[in-house]
């Protein structure tokens, strides 16, 4: 899946989803995975997967999945120029993740909020958010699924503290230009 076989991985997830209609934690994870993969070339399918994952996660009270689905939901309003709506999803994801103890998702949401601050040309807010995310990185568990969330225009590297640290510290360059 991670070696340029995104279409194959998406196909496998969609085949599994075609045979599982009842909400479950496993189905939510498959929907979130399908959404993350399909956003690259099938945006409407990605939206459909995110909407289903969000509804199922809310129905099961799976706050970690709710916050991750909210992060994936930001693409639709962001691409339409509805920055306030997208930022609202990011802020909601951050608060839900924080309350649920999902530090990786919280960090991903904070980084996305830093991107939104940059879009608003609010460099001080962006720097503050990046510093907040950087301070949380040491607390992110190595097996946290949120480490694969799309943030600041790049896929997060594998969950190795050094690689994560390097990735986040390099994002400061964006705000120094």
- The model's pLDDT over 12-63, given as tens digits with 9 standing for 90+, comes to 888 889 988 899 999 999 999 888 888 767 778 888 999 999 999 999 999 9
Nearest to 68 by CA among 16, 108, 9, 17: 108
Which residue is associated with the tokens 């409407």?
44
Question: Using an 8 Å Cβ cutoff, are 27 and 17 in contact?
Answer: yes
As a whole number, mean pLDDT of residues 138-166 equals 52
CB-side neighbour CA atoms (13 Å) of 49: 28
Question: Using an 8 Å Cβ cutoff, are 28 and 53 in contact?
Answer: yes
Give me the residues paired with residue 24 across strands: none
Tens-place pLDDT, residues 78-130: 888 888 999 999 999 999 999 999 998 898 899 889 888 888 888 889 889 98
* Phi, then psi, of 149 in degrees rounded to 5: -70, 150
Quickly state the pLDDT bin for 5 (edges 50, 70, 90).
low
| Structural tokens at position 56 | 């199922």
Whether the model pTM is above 0.85 = no
* pLDDT greater than 90 at residue 75: no
* pLDDT greater than 50 at residue 176: no
């Amino acid at each position: 899946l991670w070696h340029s076989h995104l279409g194959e991985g998406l196909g496998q997830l969609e085949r599994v989803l075609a045979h599982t209609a009842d909400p479950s934690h496993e189905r939510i994870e498959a929907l979130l995975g399908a959404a993350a993969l399909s956003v690259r070339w099938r945006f409407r399918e990605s939206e459909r997967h995110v909407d289903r994952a969000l509804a199922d996660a809310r129905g099961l009270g799976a706050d970690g999945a709710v916050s991750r689905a909210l992060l994936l939901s930001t693409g639709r309003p962001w691409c339409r120029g509805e920055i306030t709506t997208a930022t609202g999803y990011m802020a909601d994801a951050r608060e839900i993740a924080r309350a649920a103890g999902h530090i990786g998702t919280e960090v991903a949401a904070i980084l996305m909020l830093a991107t939104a601050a940059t879009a608003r040309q609010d460099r001080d807010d962006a720097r503050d958010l990046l510093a907040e995310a950087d301070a949380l990185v040491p607390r992110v568990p190595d097996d946290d699924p949120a480490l694969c969330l799309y943030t600041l225009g790049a896929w997060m590297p594998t969950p190795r503290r050094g690689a994560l640290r390097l990735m986040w510290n390099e994002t400061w360059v964006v705000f120094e230009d």
